[in-house]
Amino acid sequence: SSLTTTTTTATPSTKKSVSFGLVQIREHARILGDHPFCPDGLSLSLDWEYERITVMDVNQFEVGYRKGRDCKVRKLGAYERRLILKVIGGYQDNELLFAYFNNGDRGSSPAA
């Protein structure tokens, strides 16, 4: 009977890391959308053009900017979408009514 001894030499592993420096936050206007699955009212979209860029350190972003923001996705009702389009988007009632009645077959009236 023979005894065999095997010796393995481990090579030093290279430590890999990732780091982040700056975060760019682009703010887009909310505009009237054309999503077909919005039968209870007008849909919202983001404009392609952005209005402002904020640049900050990633740590500052994590601590301050995101702190008060709700990261959950939630479904907005017809009234909320209409209000956003009027107050933030600057749309007038007649523009929204025209878009509502010219955006496919609608079964109910727009949220007032």
> What pLDDT was estimated at residue 60?
85
Task: Tell me the average pLDDT of the chain.
Answer: 77
**pTM for the complete prediction?**
0.55
DSSP state of 13: P
* Bridge partners, residue 56, by sequence: 23
Q: Which of 27, 25, 45 is nearest to 35 (CA)?
A: 45
Instruction: Decide if 38 contacts 106 (C-beta within 8 A).
Output: no
CA distance 40 to 111: 8
pLDDT in tens, 31-66: 888 887 777 778 888 889 988 898 989 888 888 766
